[in-house]
Amino acid sequence: QVQLEESGPGLVKPSETLSLTCSVSGASISDYYWSWIRLPPGKGLDWIGYISDTGSTNYSPSLESRVTISLNTSKNQFSLKLNSATAADTAVYYCARGQTTWYFDLWGQGTLVTVSS
Amino acid sequence: SYELTQAPSVSVFPGQTATITCSGDKLGDKYACWYQQRPGQSPVLVIYQDTKRPSGISERFSGSNSGNTATLTISGTETLDEADYYCQAWDNSYVVFGGGTKLTVL
């Protein structure tokens, strides 16, 4: 049974870096695309970006200047870094597995990150 | 940038058919998929590649995609279907979500 689990600080100060890790169990991180998606309070799903099993990345144009997604194949993990966080980055953050025809078939349980001083 | 448009809300009585639409330029030329998200839970894929249903998803859920509109149809709607529904597509290497439709079962 494949599972994804997000981990990281639940509180980030404004202007600091939001950092999260997604641990994948029950399957190899190879052969898929791995994404971060967030749900701001009262709003809809917002795609942040993806990384392939070969390490190629693509980011949402609205976040591209602040985002880095990286892969750690030895630990079967991938990570998100979002620089210069503001209150607008407060959201539940999900990691998800993407298939080659671009749908997300597995999601983590989500983790709430609040940006506040 | 590419946009997908959904009605904010749809209401239906139990047992009726719920229809949720998603509009985008030439959406029928792309694959569309749909997610169900209940409050406090993670999204669940209910339709992928326009019409396919993942294992474990009720046959009451069906999808179509043609022209500029993708449609999610829920037949025999039950109270447990009350949730937010999001369409999603892929355009020029970018993932795009619709704004979501809140389905209320009256």
In the predicted model, is pLDDT for residue A27 greater than 90? no
pLDDT tens-digit readout, B21-44: 999 999 999 999 999 999 999 999
- Smallest Cα–Cα separation from B12: which of B84, B101, B82, B99? B82
pLDDT, position A28:
87
Interface-testing mutation among B33, B42, B52, with chain A (most A C-beta atoms within 10 A): B42
In angstroms, what separates the C-alpha of A16 from chain B's closest C-alpha? 26
- Give the residue-averaged pLDDT of A10-34: 94
- Give the residue-averaged pLDDT of A80-86: 98
pLDDT, position A60:
96
pLDDT, position B67:
97
In the predicted model, is pLDDT for residue A100 greater than 90? no
pLDDT tens-digit readout, A48-74: 999 998 899 999 999 999 999 999 999
Q: pLDDT category, A15, cuts 50, 70, 90? A: very high
Digits of tens for pLDDT over chain B (106 positions)? 899 999 999 999 999 999 999 999 999 999 999 999 999 999 999 999 999 999 999 999 999 999 999 999 999 999 999 999 999 999 988 999 999 999 999 9
Interface membership of A5 toward B (CB under 8 Å): no
Burial B33-65 (b: 16+ CB within 10 A, else e): bbbbbeeeebbbbbbbebeebeeebeebbbbeb
Distance CA A46, CA A3 (A): 21
Task: Name the average pLDDT for chain A.
Answer: 95
pLDDT, position B65:
98
Chain-chain contact of B43 with A107 (C-beta, under 8 angstroms): yes
The dihedral of CA B73, B79, B81, B86: what is its sign?
A: positive
Query: Residues 57..86 of A with a Cβ closer than 8 Å to B: which?
Result: 58, 60-61
pLDDT, position A31:
79
pLDDT, position B20:
98
pLDDT tens-digit readout, A28-55: 888 799 999 999 999 999 999 999 988 9
- Smallest Cα–Cα separation from A92: which of A46, A30, A24, A29? A46
Contacts with A102 from chain B: Cβ below 8 Å:
31, 33, 88-90, 95
* B28 Rama sector, left if φ>0, alpha if ψ -120 to 50, beta otherwise: alpha
Cross-chain CB nearest to A58 (options B86, B94, B98): B94
